[in-house]
Amino acid sequence: MLAEIMEAFRMTIDMYRDFSGTGMVTVFFLAALCYLWFWEKDKGIRVILVYLVTAVLVLFFFPLFSYLAIYHFLDNEVYYRFLWLMPMGVIACYVVVRVLEQIENGCRRALFGVACAAMIMVQGSLIYANPSVVKAENPYHLPQTVIDAADIIGIDGQWVKAVVPAEMIQFIRQYDSMIMMPYGRDMLVESWDVQGGNREMYEAMEADIIHAQYLVLLCQQEKVDYIVVRQTSQIGGDFEEWGFMKIASITGYDIYMDKHSQYYEEKCAELGIEARRKK
Amino acid sequence: MQMFRLTGILLLLPLAVGLLPVRFMEEKHRSVGMVYSSGWLLMFGLFQFMIIPFIVAEKEFADAAVIYSALILAFGAAGLLLGWKIIKECVQNTLSIRQADRAAKILWLIVLLLIAFQMFCAHFMQYLDGDDALYVAISLQTQNGDGMYLKNPYYGYAQGLDVRHALSPVPVFIAWIGQLTGMHTTILSHGYIGPVFLLLIYVIYSQIGKQLFAGSTKNVPLFLLFLNIWYLFGNVSLYTAETFAYTRTWQGKAMFGNLVVPALLLWMLFAVRGELKCGEWGMLFVLSAVAAFTTSTGIFMFPIFVALAGLMIAVYRKKLVVLFEFAACCTPSIVYGILYLFLK
């Protein structure tokens, strides 16, 4: 148990480091907290912003508590959220305003205010500078290629099953939940237990060379209706030879459909292509 | 018509519902911001109280949605009926910023522009978050009538009740809004819930500012200005509440860090000053359910925080009874905690 407590403490330190990330923002918070310890005169605010917050901070690092939290009632993936109980922004901004209040000279006050704002900006990281925050491609805020693929795959009021490349896995069921998949996001996060997804099929799809016959065999076992393949993927063999007919192409992807699927002819008619069931 | 209904649910309904608890609050707490934030919190809390039995019993979402709609309309009507007298007072308290000096007015204008800018960005910019594969897909499944937490959102296969997420039904709440408006829940989550909840976050912080700087008209907008900067530049890691506020606003965990915790802080500031009347006590009780509503982590964190706060406030105010009162307010957390462990 002692070893586990020490391990929990080590994990807590790592979590705090990861939480703090880049810059000195958490240092500003700690400095603001120290300021309040010495200079806050309002006893009510002292109780909440100083004593209570310090107690939360101490509790977070307290090895026995972190051991209980990580191993028994929370887990190591969510324990960092305990840090959210400390209102870092409120404390830091409260202190800045209190200090500003004490500066009588208007010019100095403005300078101090600008300096504080600049420090937060320089040491922080603007959310809109994050390369992952980009202009929305559509009202769904999903990749347009996923929507294009799902529009072809989906059949009104019917359940269909599709295998898609890794980059589409997370999004396709956010657009159309009637598209089922034999594997899902659990394939993308290595630390997770697989929740029942077909890892064999995922690996066959993501292999350097996709072996058409092998993938089709796996798909037929799972009664998959569609395979969506990157146009850049190398394919060993031909899907059409094994019964999956190409029904459409969208930007960067080809979509194949099992010609034995009960929806094959309906889909071909919808897309205005000739069904090749007998080929 | 969709936008008309959506405006009604996201803006007007919380105002009507919020009048009910605010009617029974301290006079100085009454403001449009308090009505709006209390309205949302009460809507969340009532949803939690009502929906969990339906989820656990694996009943139909459509039935639960009808009952909740009726319930929330009744609360809205009760709010208007009992609270119409305080509407003028709330508006006057809110508009008291008009008496502030020119500098304060300019600060308020900058703050409002910054918030509007963030709402605009939330509507028109996207962040592809992996966890949406779970939460947003659950909303969509629920809206499509596939039961509540009875299908694996990653695959679409039937499964047993997903206990880890089922006691925190934010995605089901979004499905309820989707049901009423007829909007696709993914558009709703990413394009509308995000901006509105960002507004709600700052509304709660403005109440905190009023508590911290009572009597100072200039300090509140200054505090909010710095807080806006803190939030905008808070993307120092994947784990900060600020990062969650912009990238996953519609997910329960983001709501816990950015709505529940600030609201809890506000209520503790009320408590430490002995400013808890019937309305505030009721909302603290509701807040305990809201913590569970947002995330299963909240079920455990809420009582820990409240216990620590209760201990300190009891010592500070030399009133042991505070501890018992706080413990009573944690009842929902305790009940959901037991239920969670039982179902797990």
Segments making up each domain of chain A, as ranges: 2-128, 144-271
pLDDT of residue B106: 94
d(CA A230, nearest CA chain B) in Å: 20
Q: Is the pLDDT of residue B2 over 90?
A: no
For domain A144-271, the CATH architecture is 3-Layer(aba) Sandwich (3.40)
Kindly determine whether residue B187 and residue A140, on different chains, have CB atoms separated by under 8 Å. Answer: yes
Query: Tens of pLDDT along B172-209?
Result: 999 999 999 999 999 999 999 999 999 999 999 999 99
Identify the band that residue A165 occupies on the pLDDT scale cut at 50, 70 and 90: very high
Picking from A52, A180, A182, the nearest residue to B268 by CB comes out as A52
pLDDT of residue B218: 86
Percent over 90 (pLDDT), chain A: 80
Identify the band that residue B140 occupies on the pLDDT scale cut at 50, 70 and 90: very high
> Is B3 exposed, middle or buried (CB count within 10 Å of its CB: 0-12, 13-18, 19+)?
exposed
Q: Does B237 touch chain A (CB under 8 A)?
A: yes
- As a whole number, mean pLDDT of residues B137-147 equals 93
Identify the band that residue A279 occupies on the pLDDT scale cut at 50, 70 and 90: very low
Q: Is the pLDDT of residue A128 over 70?
A: yes
Identify the band that residue A77 occupies on the pLDDT scale cut at 50, 70 and 90: confident
Q: A199 in helix, strand or coil?
A: helix
Identify the band that residue B33 occupies on the pLDDT scale cut at 50, 70 and 90: very high
Report the alpha-carbon distance of residue B179 to residue B61 in Å, rounded: 10
Question: Contact A180/A160 with Cβ under 8 angstroms?
Answer: yes
Q: Is the pLDDT of residue A23 over 90?
A: no
Q: What is the pTM of this model?
A: 0.94
Report the alpha-carbon distance of residue A56 to residue A51 in Å, rounded: 9
Q: Is the pLDDT of residue A191 over 70?
A: no
Kindly determine whether residue B305 and residue A22, on different chains, have CB atoms separated by under 8 Å. Answer: no
Q: Is the pLDDT of residue B75 over 80?
A: yes
Residues 291-330 of B with CB under 8 A from A: 295, 297, 300-301, 304-305, 308-309, 312-313, 316
Q: Does B265 touch chain A (CB under 8 A)?
A: yes
Q: Round the average pLDDT of chain B to a whole number and report it.
A: 94
Q: Which two tokens stand for residue B171?
A: 């995605």
Residues of A in contact with B61 (CB under 8 A): none
Picking from B124, B133, B140, the nearest residue to A136 by CB comes out as B124
Q: How many domains does chain B have?
A: 1
Q: A133 in helix, strand or coil?
A: strand
Q: What domain range is B262 assigned to?
A: 2-343
pLDDT of residue A74: 80
Q: Which stretch of DSSP H or E encloses residue A244? A: strand A244-250
Rg of the Cα atoms in chain A: 28
Residues 47-106 of A with CB under 8 A from B: 47-48, 51-52, 55-56, 59, 69, 73-74, 78, 80-85, 87-90, 92-94, 96-97, 100-101
> Would you tell me how many other CB atoms lie within 10 Å of the CB of residue A11?
16
CA atoms within 13 A on the CB side of A86: 24
